[in-house]
Amino acid sequence: MLVTLAMTAGLTTGGMSDTAQWQGCPGGLPAPLECTSVQVPMDYGNPGGSKISIEVSRVKATGRRRGALMMNPGGPGSPGIQMPLQMAQSLPKSVTDEYDLIGFDPRGTGRSAPVDCGFTPGQIDLGAMGGYPSPDGSIAASVDHARTVAQRCVQDSGPDLPYITTNNTARDMDRIRAALGEQQISYYGTSYGTYLGAVYSTMFPQRSDRIVLDSVNTPNDLWRGTFLNFGQGMADRFPDFASWAAAQDAALHLGATPDAVRATYLGLAAQLDQTPLPTKAGPVSGNTFREQTREYLYNTVTFPDLAQLWQAVKTGDADAVQINPSLQVILSGATAIWCNDAEWPRNIAAYQRDVLRNRQQYPLTAGMPAGIEPCAFWPYRPAEPVTRITDHGPSNILLAQNERDPATPLRGALEMRKALGSRARMVTANAGGHGAYRMTGNACLDGVVTAFLTDGTRPDNDVRC
Is 392 a known active-site residue?
no
- Please identify which of the residues 100, 174, 354, 405 carries the catalytic annotation: 405
Instruction: Select which of 142, 215, 434, 446 is catalytic.
Output: 434
In DSSP terms, which residues pair with 19 in a beta bridge?
Answer: 6
405 is catalytic: yes
The answer to whether residue 319 is catalytic is no
Q: Which residues pair with 67 in a beta bridge?
A: 99
Catalytic residue among 191, 201, 215, 285: 191
Catalytic amino acids? Answer: 191, 405, 434
